[in-house]
Amino acid sequence: MMDFIKKLLSTSQEHKSLLCVGLDPSPVLMPDVDILTFNKAIIDSTCDLVCAYKPNLAFYEVLGVEGLTILEKTIKYIPAKIPVIGDAKRGDIGNTARAYAKALFSTFGFDATTVNPYLGFDSIQPFIDYKERGVFILCRTSNKGGADFQDLNCSGSLHLYEAVAQKALEWNVNGNIGLVVGATYPEELKRIRSACPEMCLLIPGVGTQGGDLDSAVNNGVDTNKEKAIINVSRKILYASRGDDFAQAARNMAEEIRVQINSCLVNHNGE
């Protein structure tokens, strides 16, 4: 299979897009259709506008075995050229981590996944050993409670999230590690991009969570105006609850893509 970063950049360049759509179906917010039909309609209406898709496993696991079947069918439905990031946030001891990595990369076939670094290197190594897959380490998350630990001083003047970024650089021997950094914390995002100039960043928090799109783009891209994956979920998925939900999702995705590209035109690289 194609290396995750190469696949991401290829699709991003072809579609002129840094937009990632989070496929997080919630029956209470969806129109009156089944989840697989909903996912397929969203994919059909947005697949030429995105650089990636990101299903969050929680929205499928909550449905039990049926949900995992829907997830599997959703992944297979996405065009092969578009990378799929499994938002699983896994993190456990080495033996268990190996099983998680195999499940996500071999069983489900995700191109990348998200992992929690709290247990240290041996909990992440099984994922990064899949050299062609992307591994996004939680660094500065978009939620308010992330500050409880991530802002703590841990070594000299470094915050914990900065120490995580430094470790990620040390561990990135295969070139397949990225970081999750929320758009809701633009100054932290700017510092992380400065510390990790070539690393791919997955940036949630734009849209419903209130992250500023201009700051996310300008602080998140690398010197080539790439390697920033701007994730938007609810604002696109639930643009309408009517029969026009797929067209409404497309309209919103196109609007956000245009806004992102406008930010790139004005990006000064500082």
- Active site amino acids: 89
- Residue labelled with tokens 């995002």: 189
Residues 6+ apart with CB under 8 A from 69: none
Place of tokens 């309408």: 240
CB 256 within 8 A of CB 237: no
19 bridge partner residues: 230
**Amino acid in position 211:** G
Q: Are 231 and 206 in contact (CB under 8 A)?
A: yes
Exposure letters 174-204 (e unless 16+ CB within 10 A, then b) = eebbbbbbbbbbbebbbbbbeebeebbbbbb
E runs forming strands in the chain: 19-21, 52-53, 85-90, 112-115, 134-140, 153-155, 158-159, 177-181, 200-203, 228-232
Strand-strand pairing, 134-140 and 177-181: parallel
